[in-house]
Structure 1
Amino acid sequence: MNTALWIGAGLLAAVALTGGFTKVFVPTAKLAEAPGGQWTGDAGDGFVKALGGLELLAAAGLILPAAVGVAPVMVPVTAVCWVLLMVGAMVTHGRRGEGRFVALNLVYLALAVFVAVGRFGPW
């Protein structure tokens, strides 16, 4: 079970790192032209950059605490925060009629729930 939780956290961290990096370092106008990024055209530049920064922190919070053994409870706490982020993403994409991105966010949400429950649980 521990291996599955590490894989789940690693996959989520990779998603968070990729999303955070693009939101922080790619211009918002360019993001708005990309598939799934059209919502950034309606959001402020500061909001998009702040969201990207939070995603970069999430990537670290899903891996580093357990890897170094310092405050490992932060892994499931970060996973719960990722669940909340995915709910917001699903609402945003749903309002825009982007069903395939809602489904993708639902997969990420389910993976985050798995990591949160598994790391809060007896394993």
Structure 2
Amino acid sequence: MDVFLWVVQAILAAMFAMSGLGKLLWTRDKLAGKYPWTHTFSQTAVRSIGVTELLGTIGLIVPAATGIAPVLTPIAATGLAIMMGLAGALHIRRKEPSGLMATAVLLALCALVAWGRFGPYSW
């Protein structure tokens, strides 16, 4: 199960890193094609979400890989799960079922990592 959790962490890290970098580097207008919700947020808010995703990415991998404060890994997974829960609420409010499916999958995977790393497969 430990190897499985590492694979899930790596997949989540890749997904959140790509998403976070996109939100940091692209303008809100350019993101609107992929993320229609960006028109309802300021550029600063979108970039803040990107920074949060990148910090979560670092938290998913670095503490566990280095053995320095590995408790930060499940905390990062929990934070990303909360963020995905809030994103899901936004997609429900905006009536965007396509965005809701991806968000729900990411939430479930983050919750799995948090459960595994806090519980039976913690360090």
The alignment's TM-score, normalised by the length of structure 1, stands at: 0.95
Letter in 2 for 1:116: A
Residue 79 of structure 1 pairs with residue 81 of structure 2: no
Look up the match of 2:28.
Answer: 28
Report the counterpart of residue 91 of structure 1 in structure 2: 89
Work out the CA distance in 2 between the residues paired with 1:30 and 1:103.
22
Q: How does 1:36-55 map to 2 (within 5 A)?
A: 37-55=35-53
Q: Equivalents in 1 of 2:61, 2:112: separation in Å?
A: 15
> CA separation in 2, counterparts of 1:22 and 1:122?
35
Structure with the greater relative contact order (CA < 8 A, sep ≥ 6): 1 or 2? 1
Indicate yes or no: 2:8 matched with 1:3: no
Question: What is the Cα deviation at residue 122 of structure 1?
Answer: 2.4
Find the aligned partners of 2:14 and 2:96 in 1 and give their Cα distance: 22
4+ aligned runs moved over 6 Å, structure 1: none
Q: CA deviation at 1:29?
A: 1.1
In the alignment, the residues of structure 2 paired with residue 93 and residue 76 of structure 1 have an alpha-carbon distance, to the nearest angstrom, of 25
**2:68 alignment partner in structure 1:** 70
Q: CA deviation at 1:100?
A: 1.8
Counterpart CA distance in 2 for 1:112 and 1:53 is: 17
For structure 2, which runs of at least 5 residues remain unmatched after alignment?
none
**Equivalent position of 1:17 in the other structure:** 17
Deviation at 1:64, TM superposition (A): 0.4
| CA apart distance, 1:111 | 0.4
> What is the identity, as a one-letter code, of the residue corresponding to 2:112?
F
Count of residues in Structure 1 that have an aligned counterpart in Structure 2: 121
Residue type of the partner of 1:60? I
2:63 is aligned with what amino acid? P
CA displacement 1:67-118 (0-9 Å, x = unmatched): 1110111010001001110011101111111112111111111101110010
CA distance in 2, matches of 1:15, 1:88: 17
Q: Distance in 1 between matches of 2:78 and 2:53?
A: 13
* RMSD of aligned residue pairs (Cα, Å): 0.8
Identical aligned residues as a percent: 39
